[in-house]
């Protein structure tokens, strides 16, 4: 279950970038129609103009609030955006900070201890900011789990090995969904554009955020569900 933030405003932009990068032969004309972000946009109009090549897209990200993802492969671009989304949520939505840090845990754990990938430096820097300086460089999953701050360690409770991360993912989704319902019942929300239905959701998950109806002001015209085949280095 790849991590993405597709129903909090930055996540719509990640979904658009994923769709462009996964288009056959990199042909933007064959990608799904992008979400029309309107007031939710961070930098999409600039990114859309520079999605001809991954190198151009990286340059556009560097010049935007997303910042440098640390590489110009599709994997580096999207991983950088996902960790940046966690960092931006942590800063902009204090009541969602616990969830943002746990999302960073799951992203980091999967990349390091399931896929065995070294993190691009900006991703490593964001992870250290969110999870402490020891987390990105932990030599083992056990060391990683033990060095996490209590604000983020909860998501790995009773998950003793990387093969069990799917349980941690499920716990995260349940926690975020329950928090959203509680906030709605109390008549408040954690931050701009947030609800349990529209915050972090993955566009290629069943029931995810790629339908045409749109949420929170973003709309993908005429689209049914979009399934991303995944991004490789």
Q: Strand, helix or coil at 4?
A: coil
Q: Given this model, what pLDDT does residue 181 score?
A: 52
Whether residue 140 contacts residue 92, with contact meaning beta carbons closer than 8 Å, is answered with: no
| Nearest of 33, 30, 123, 22 to residue 70 by alpha carbon | 123
Calculate what percentage of the chain has a pLDDT beyond 70.
68
Least confident of 108-122, 151-165, 201-215: 201-215
pLDDT at 177 over 50: yes
Q: Given this model, what pLDDT does residue 38 score?
A: 74
pLDDT at 185 over 90: no
* pLDDT: which is higher, 81 or 181: 81
121-131 vs 74-92: helix crossing angle, rounded to 10: 30
């Amino acid at each position: 279950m790849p991590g993405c933030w597709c129903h909090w405003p930055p996540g719509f932009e990640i979904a658009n970038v994923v769709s462009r990068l996964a288009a056959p032969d990199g042909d933007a004309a064959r990608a799904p129609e992008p979400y029309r972000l309107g007031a939710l946009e961070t930098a999409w109009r600039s990114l859309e103009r520079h999605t001809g090549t991954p190198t151009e897209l990286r340059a556009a990200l560097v010049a935007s609030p997303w910042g440098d993802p640390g590489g110009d492969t599709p994997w580096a671009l999207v991983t950088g955006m996902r960790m940046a989304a966690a960092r931006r949520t942590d800063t902009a939505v204090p009541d969602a900070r616990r969830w943002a840090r746990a999302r960073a845990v799951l992203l980091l754990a999967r990349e390091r201890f399931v896929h065995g990938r070294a993190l691009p430096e900006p991703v490593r820097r964001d992870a250290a900011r969110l999870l402490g300086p020891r987390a990105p460089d932990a030599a083992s999953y056990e060391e990683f789990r033990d060095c996490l701050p209590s604000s983020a360690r909860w998501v790995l409770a009773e998950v003793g090995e990387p093969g069990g991360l799917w349980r941690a993912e499920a716990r995260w989704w349940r926690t975020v969904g329950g928090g959203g319902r509680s906030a709605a019942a109390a008549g408040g929300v954690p931050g701009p554009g947030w609800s349990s239905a529209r915050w972090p959701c993955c566009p290629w998950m069943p029931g995810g955020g790629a339908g045409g109806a749109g949420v929170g002001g973003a709309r993908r015209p005429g689209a049914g569900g979009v399934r991303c085949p995944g991004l490789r280095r």
